[in-house]
Amino acid sequence: MFKIRYKSHHDVGNIISKFTQNLKASKDDFLDLLNTENKNKQLGIYFHIPYCDKICSFCNMNRKQLDNDLEEYTKYLCEEIKKYGAFKFCQTSEIDVVFFGGGTPTIFKKEQLERILKTLNENFKFAKDYEMTFETTLHNLTFEKLKVMEENGVNRISVGIQTFSNRGRKLLNRTYDKDYVVERLKEIKKRFSGLVCIDIIYNYANQTDEEVLQDADLLAEVEADSASFYSLMIHDGSDISKEREKDKSIYIYSLERDEELHNLFYSRCVEKGYKLLELTKLTNGRDSYKYIRNNNGLKNLLPIGNGAGGHIQDIGVYNMNQQMSFYSKTSEINHNLSMISGLMQFDKFDLEEIKKYCDDKIYKIIYKRLQEFEKEGYIKIENNFAIYQLKGIFWGNSLVANIIEEIGRHL
């Protein structure tokens, strides 16, 4: 059925763009919106910190290696927080999600982190059940920084472990060996009352069954509240891609091996008490990952920082740098396709919810395709829910993309 495997939700977004066109918007449109009342009160904030002190071999993200102490960027973020906090929209909002991504957000000094977080708390009102996440590496996260973060409202951290394997860690240019990583994570769990989540990469060069199973066993041993798991993607510009250009035998991709390792990791995690939260995330039941739920539901997200993107209602914003931002207005078709795609990202999705974003003709097309997926073992339709099966979890974004392309052909 599938000629292409779509590895991520971002690829699905590119497919949506093929069939839709967002309208132009201006900075004035955005500011006019910010000067209005936020009637539903929901607002999230995304901070982008495009700096690392060590570049992972697989990374080509919008980041650069640190060459100063980030004092200028700290001042910039604090000024942006104060600026946006003064708008009526933000003053009538309750923050339900804050996400510090990057880059490595914990690259700031302890004092800088404290200033940023205090400024945030002074200028915005938080919902009672808010989630505030920092992405981090182990070597950047000192216990002093962790204490400051928790004292200022951070209740979730996402640690880029990638793998516990010593061989794999060397390949991916990670700091510390397996034993230190395990002990450090256990100590973080003792000292931090919030959620401790980790990232795992599988299917790196010559990864063995034992290595992928060890990753599953150790994430359970350290009691990670959730794990995002991704197949290694070799992006143009990353160190691994440059090495492969020199020697094509360094990494030969096999789809069959990718699926095999994925299923080994997933099944072992389920044995250890984890369950699927989202197509690429497993949880022990504590983590609900509100940030991704909000994004998939197209909820308000204010972007702050160089490289940050988000949207307020139907106005999209992308900050190229401190001087330049781009704005667009989301079309109805784009909104509906994005909502359908977002609903399909989780362990199961409600068909009644899908109906809200399409007419009867399109829904019949979707349902017919879902029935085909069921026959092939990707999903199970039960009580008006589509539930991913093991095979479907691996192929999930391909299934989503297939649905979006089918809808697009009938628009």
What value does the mean pLDDT take over residues 402-406?
A: 94
Separation between Cα atoms, residue 379 and residue 348, nearest integer Å: 9
pLDDT-wise least confident of 173-177, 266-270, 340-344:
173-177
CB-CB contact of 328 with 320 (8 Å): no
Ranges of beta strands (E only) in 284-376 are 301-304, 309-312, 315-319, 325-329, 348-350
- Fill in the DSSP letter of residue 106: G
Count of Cβ atoms closer than 10 Å to residue 35 Cβ: 10
User: Would the pTM count as exceeding 0.85?
Assistant: yes
pLDDT digits (tens, 9 = 90+) for 267-303: 999 999 999 999 999 999 999 999 999 999 999 999 9
Tell me which amino acid residue 127 is: A
The residue among 133 and 205 whose pLDDT is bigger is 133
Q: Which residues pair with 98 in a beta bridge?
A: 45, 132
Can you give the pLDDT at residue 247?
A: 59
- Fill in the DSSP letter of residue 401: H
**Residue 67: pLDDT band by 50, 70, 90 thresholds?**
very low
Q: Which residues pair with 283 in a beta bridge?
A: 226, 275
Separation between Cα atoms, residue 221 and residue 266, nearest integer Å: 16
Q: Is the pLDDT of residue 3 over 50?
A: no
Q: Which residues pair with 52 in a beta bridge?
A: 65
Q: Is the pLDDT of residue 406 over 60?
A: yes
**Residue 57: pLDDT band by 50, 70, 90 thresholds?**
very low
Can you give the pLDDT at residue 93?
A: 98
End-to-end C-alpha distance for the chain, whole angstroms: 22
**Residue 237: pLDDT band by 50, 70, 90 thresholds?**
low
Looking at the chain, the whole-number percentage of residues with pLDDT higher than 70 is 90
**Residue 68: pLDDT band by 50, 70, 90 thresholds?**
low
Tell me which amino acid residue 42 is: Q
**Residue 63: pLDDT band by 50, 70, 90 thresholds?**
very low
Q: Is the pLDDT of residue 179 over 80?
A: yes
**Residue 8: pLDDT band by 50, 70, 90 thresholds?**
low
Separation between Cα atoms, residue 173 and residue 175, nearest integer Å: 7
Pick from 385, 294, 377, 382: nearest CA to 1: 377
> Residue 196 burial (CB < 10 Å; 0-12/13-18/19+)?
buried
What value does the mean pLDDT take over residues 248-257?
A: 78
- Per residue, the 3-state secondary structure of 127-183, as one string, reads EEEEEEEEEECCCCCCHHHHHHHHHCCCCEEEEEEECCCHHHHHHCCCCCCHHHHHH
Q: Is the pLDDT of residue 119 over 50?
A: yes
**Residue 69: pLDDT band by 50, 70, 90 thresholds?**
confident
Q: Is the pLDDT of residue 65 over 50?
A: no
Can you give the pLDDT at residue 250?
A: 61
Q: Is the pLDDT of residue 28 over 50?
A: yes
CB-CB contact of 278 with 341 (8 Å): no
H helices of 6-96, in order, are 9-19, 27-34, 71-85, 88-91
Kindly state the helix (H) or strand (E) to which residue 128 belongs, with its residue range: strand 126-136
pLDDT digits (tens, 9 = 90+) for 213-236: 999 999 999 999 999 999 987 545
The residue among 333 and 53 whose pLDDT is bigger is 333
The residue among 389 and 251 whose pLDDT is bigger is 389
Looking at the chain, the whole-number percentage of residues with pLDDT higher than 90 is 82
Count of Cβ atoms closer than 10 Å to residue 358 Cβ: 18
pLDDT digits (tens, 9 = 90+) for 142-171: 999 999 999 999 999 999 999 999 999 999
pLDDT digits (tens, 9 = 90+) for 301-315: 999 999 999 999 999
Q: What is the CA radius of gyration of the chain?
A: 21
**Residue 61: pLDDT band by 50, 70, 90 thresholds?**
very low
Count of Cβ atoms closer than 10 Å to residue 68 Cβ: 8
Can you give the pLDDT at residue 399?
A: 96
Can you give the pLDDT at residue 12?
A: 81
Can you give the pLDDT at residue 248?
A: 61
